[in-house]
Amino acid sequence: MASSSVQALWLGILALASATAHAAEPSTVEQRAREDLDRQLQALVKTPPPEIVITYEGLPGAGSARAYKLLEVDFILNGQPLAVPGLDVLSGPGIHRLAALKVDEGSYTLVSRVTYTNNDTWNLFSEESGFLWKMTASVTFQAQKGLRMKVRVLPGINPTAPDPRLKLKLGHDVSAEMTAQLADASLAEDAGTPAVVARAPVTLPLPPPPPVTPPPTTQPLAMAPPPVAPPKETPELGPVAPGKLLLKVLSGKKPVAATAYVRGKGAPRQVILEKNAKKPAPVMLPPGEYTVDVLAQGFLAQTRQVKVTREREATLSFTLAKAPAKKTAQASVKNERVELPKPPRFAEKQAAPRKGSTAGIALLVDMLVRDESLKLRLEGHTDNREAPATARQALSEARAKALADALVREGLNPTRIETSGLGDSRPKAPNLIPRGRELNRRVDIVLVRGK
């Protein structure tokens, strides 16, 4: 009885498909009949609720060629933090399950924040000793009935990265598998005529045979998997439409391979710029203020501030300068004071640096871009003859501010610079000779560490 009922069902579908070859458009009655058949075929399949399984794949731990220590993790699904295993579990290599959830249909966003440090013995000459990698990544995906969404959080190591900040990276991988199983029918392995095996009596009324529009396929509708929206890595854009930022990095007139870090609203973005890029790289961002740092191997790092709006595209173009190879042409630090190979020089009674004496500013910018914890304190000075005693304090302050303005024009955030004037109270050389007075007309550059 069960077998004859299901066979009758398929005969009805085939009859409808063959009869509709002569019809142009289905009538309302015919459309209702088809929908009724679809509902009855769907009833043959048990559709479980959507599932989400989230796993974390740890980096190599103790005993590996390069050991990294996990310091902090934070996983948030649609604004709700997940209760995950402790750091002692997640620190080990291998795959660790973070969560297995049954959820409602809809869109879900997972935000992952992970902090690692180098687990090696402290080494003064290692650029990674004591370094912290604070990484954030997010992914958005669709959950639907009958599907299990498998989300993998994947930290990774890039051993050939030119910069310490690029050594570790964080990303996601999303895949889907069907969880719905046939309850009352199954298809034979033969791809030809479908064979149906009934497991329970099923009585399905057949509609009258007037012509209807032919279905797009002869395979049973109940076996078609529900549509799955492809997972995609996206920034946290929020409810507003994004704006577009175009990035271009050159050396002279030729594009150069570089990495740009975009910081502002939402999670920081890392943008890889190709060496042979013919067009600027587009970056979609929520409207707002952003800082863009650019690093490239063999070049001095640069930074810019930019405002992104929905109304018009913002464009940033960087022209990088070669990093000096000789030590004598590099900036050095002694007792938290930066010594430039060619410091800015000042004429008598003038606040602005002499023309051509500010080339060392690029070295300062490079230093601060590569270490976000650094700030600068600029201390202005005068000699004891270039102005009346009452005016020397203001002149020294003006010199410090003039150098700060030059750094801001190079893209440095003004919140990372503070200025002060000390007049002629701290001479560097005797004021008795012209050369000594010239050395005293200066701005000292002091490093201030910490956020």
441 in helix, strand or coil?
Answer: coil
Q: Which residue has the higher pLDDT, 61 or 160?
A: 160
pLDDT in tens, 383-414: 999 988 889 999 999 999 999 999 999 999 99
| Residue keyed to tokens 């509708």 | 221
The span from the CA of 166 to the CA of 156, in Å, is 10
H or E element, residue 53 = strand 51-58
| Residue keyed to tokens 């410091």 | 343
For residue 64, what pLDDT is reported? 43
For residue 194, what pLDDT is reported? 44
Tell me the backbone φ, ψ of residue 243, rounded to 5 degrees: -105, 175
Mean pLDDT, rounded, for 367-379: 92
Mean pLDDT, rounded, for 99-111: 89
**Nearest alpha-carbon partner for 208 in 3, 4, 7, 15:** 15
Are 79 and 174 spatial neighbours (Cβ–Cβ below 8 Å)? Answer: no
Q: What is the average pLDDT value for the chain, to the nearest integer? A: 79
Q: How confident is the model at residue 81 (pLDDT cuts 50, 70, 90)?
A: confident
Radius of gyration of the chain (CA): 34
Does the structure show a pLDDT above 70 at 67? no
Ranking 146-155, 343-352, 375-384 by mean pLDDT, the lowest is: 146-155
The span from the CA of 177 to the CA of 112, in Å, is 23
The span from the CA of 338 to the CA of 360, in Å, is 11
Q: Are strands 106-118 and 132-143 parallel, antiparallel or unpaired?
A: antiparallel
Does the structure show a pLDDT above 90 at 142? no
Cα atoms found within 13 Å of the Cα of residue 252, Cβ hemisphere only: 2
Residue 140: partners with Cβ closer than 8 Å, 6 or more residues away: 107, 108, 109, 231, 232, 234
For residue 42, what pLDDT is reported? 62
For residue 434, what pLDDT is reported? 92
For residue 199, what pLDDT is reported? 43
Does the structure show a pLDDT above 70 at 124? no
Does the structure show a pLDDT above 60 at 25? no
Residue 89 DSSP class:
H
For residue 121, what pLDDT is reported? 53
Mean pLDDT, rounded, for 416-428: 94
For residue 238, what pLDDT is reported? 42
For residue 301, what pLDDT is reported? 94
Ranking 35-44, 73-82, 123-132, 155-164 by mean pLDDT, the lowest is: 123-132
For residue 89, what pLDDT is reported? 82
Please state, as a whole number, how many other Cβ atoms lie within 10 Å of the Cβ of residue 195.
13
**Nearest alpha-carbon partner for 46 in 176, 202, 178, 204:** 178
Does the structure show a pLDDT above 50 at 139? yes
Mean pLDDT, rounded, for 147-160: 86
For residue 193, what pLDDT is reported? 41
Ranking 11-15, 28-32, 161-165, 317-321 by mean pLDDT, the lowest is: 11-15
The span from the CA of 383 to the CA of 400, in Å, is 15
The span from the CA of 34 to the CA of 29, in Å, is 9
The span from the CA of 320 to the CA of 255, in Å, is 10
Does the structure show a pLDDT above 60 at 13? no
Q: Which residue has the higher pLDDT, 15 or 212?
A: 15
| In the chain, % of residues over pLDDT 90 | 38
The span from the CA of 290 to the CA of 271, in Å, is 14
For residue 247, what pLDDT is reported? 93
Does the structure show a pLDDT above 50 at 235? no
17 exposed, middle or buried (CB, 10 Å; 0-12, 13-18, 19+)? middle
pLDDT in tens, 171-190: 899 998 887 654 444 443 44
pLDDT in tens, 242-290: 889 999 999 988 999 999 999 888 778 889 888 888 889 999 888 999 9
44 exposed, middle or buried (CB, 10 Å; 0-12, 13-18, 19+)? buried
Mean pLDDT, rounded, for 140-144: 88
